[in-house]
Amino acid sequence: MVDALGRDCPDYVAGELWIGGAGVALGYCASPALTKERFVEVDGQRWYRTGDRGRYWADGTLEFLGRVDHQVKVRGHRIELGEIESALASLPEIARAIAVTVGSPAQLAAAIQLKENLATSEQPIKEQLQQLLPDYMVPTSLVIYETLPLSANGKVDRKKIIEELANHTTLTLVKELPRDQLEQQIANLWQEVLNCHTLSRDDDFFLSGGDSLTATQIVQLLHKRHITPELIPLRVLFSASTIASLSDYIKQQWKSNVLDEDTLFEEGTL
């Protein structure tokens, strides 16, 4: 297991699996470019780069973490799709799962094949995933298949899955405009900072192009323009990342602020 520079990784540190020894081939037949990419020589020893990511445990166990080329960046986070697939596969109802990214800005989606004679739906799966993964790694869209599509060589057809999930996400997306003045104020601010088009009340700040830097800017502007009574913690925007949920938080903040002022006034009078 080695890092990007070909150095051995310590136990529990993820790296790429390289294979060496007498069994390593000379290269791919009639494919010099792929041979150059996959077969490397380091300190006089020939290695085959598998493209698999993993890590060794202290007891010698080799844990598979997915493919190197399946790393993606979503909402400012570097994500290993294999970790999402492993979490999904650990659920009792799921036989197999493929995680992908769709749309622009990228959002996570997953195709799921259930075990025979078992049934479930999208929401229970998401609730279980939230116990296993951080929120930013939980797919926005989950689609259940009877059988995952396969390519001509019998492997799961990721390309077809991406096309189908991208279409599914587009078809199932229901745009509901902001309901009140506060939601509209938040939407206008997001459009200004993110330079994006009309937003619905259920649009996610980070899926709309936001990151930690623009989140900080939003928090500052919300207070500067008196949309919030005081600065909200930055972590709030990560947990209440839609216009609707952020509006609910701000309304509660105003309510608490008024109650605090009433309490102070009564105490001062006494």
3-state secondary structure of 14: coil
- Full-model pTM: 0.53
Give pLDDT, residue 270. Answer: 47
Give pLDDT, residue 39. Answer: 92
- Scanning the chain, the segments in alpha helix (DSSP H) are 32-38, 81-89, 122-129, 158-172, 181-194, 212-224, 234-239, 243-269
Class of domain 181-264: mainly alpha
Instruction: Indicate the pLDDT class of residue 111, thresholds 50, 70 and 90.
Output: very high
CA angle 45, 49, 52 (to 5 degrees): 140
The partner residues of 40 in beta bridges, in order of sequence, read 47
Alpha carbon separation from 129 to 60, 99, 135, 142, 241 (Å, rounded): 28, 13, 9, 11, 18
Helix, strand, coil % (nearest 5) of the chain? Answer: 40, 25, 35
Above 50 in pLDDT, residue 177?
Answer: yes
Above 60 in pLDDT, residue 127?
Answer: yes
CATH 1.10.1200.10 location in the chain = 181-264
> Which of the residue ranges 10-14, 175-179, 264-268 would you say has the lowest mean pLDDT?
264-268
Give pLDDT, residue 170. Answer: 58
Alpha-carbon Rg of the chain, whole angstroms? 24
d(CA 49, CA 57): 20
Q: What is the pLDDT of residues 181-239, one digit of tens each?
A: 999 999 999 999 988 777 888 877 876 778 888 899 999 999 999 999 999 998 888 88
Give pLDDT, residue 172. Answer: 53
Q: Which CATH number fits domain 68-172: 3.30.300.30, 3.50.50.60, 3.40.190.10, 1.10.287.130?
A: 3.30.300.30
Strand order in the sheet with 141-145: 94-102, 107-114, 141-145
